[in-house]
């Protein structure tokens, strides 16, 4: 997809979903802020019944999957994400990016599934 650069009249090839690098740079801090709010809310909910949650298999699984999702994100940003500027000129999306996306999707589906199951398995 071709788009106009924000700071010049020259067309530039966008990479991910038609979003240019400056748009991703603007959005990324908001995603971290949203994650922080969700982590605080989750921590407060955990504190309300910590002894029951701590021994629940599905809660432990959810935390493990969330940790793996965070690790997947860190690996992506440290290795594959460094070369995101080249993606706009590439014929295809790099295999590492596709793999990171697939792993991320699977992990977050697992987080949602385990999270929904927690409420039904508390004693």
For residue range 63-74, what is the model confidence (pLDDT) as tens digits?
999 999 999 988
Banded model confidence at residue 11, pLDDT cuts 50, 70, 90: very low
Please enumerate in sequence order all residues whose Cβ is within 8 A of that of 60, keeping only pairs 6 or more positions apart, or say none. Answer: 54
CA distances from 19 to 10, 12, 101, 109, 114 (A): 16, 11, 17, 25, 32
**Residues 72-77: what's their mean pLDDT?**
90
Banded model confidence at residue 16, pLDDT cuts 50, 70, 90: low
Banded model confidence at residue 91, pLDDT cuts 50, 70, 90: confident
The domain containing residue 26 runs over which residues?
2-121
Domain count along the chain: 1
Banded model confidence at residue 42, pLDDT cuts 50, 70, 90: very high
């Amino acid at each position: 997809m071709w788009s106009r650069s924000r700071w010049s009249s020259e067309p530039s090839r966008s990479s991910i979903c038609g979003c240019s690098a400056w748009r991703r740079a603007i959005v990324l801090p908001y995603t971290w802020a949203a994650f922080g709010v969700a982590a605080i809310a989750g921590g407060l909910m955990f504190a309300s019944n910590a002894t029951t949650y701590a021994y629940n298999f599905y809660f432990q699984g959810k935390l493990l999957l969330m940790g793996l999702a965070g690790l997947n994100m860190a690996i992506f940003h440290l290795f594959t994400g460094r070369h995101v500027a080249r993606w706009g000129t590439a014929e295809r999306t790099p295999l590492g990016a596709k793999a990171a996306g697939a792993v991320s999707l699977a992990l977050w589906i697992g987080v949602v599934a385990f999270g929904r199951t927690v409420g039904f398995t508390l004693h």
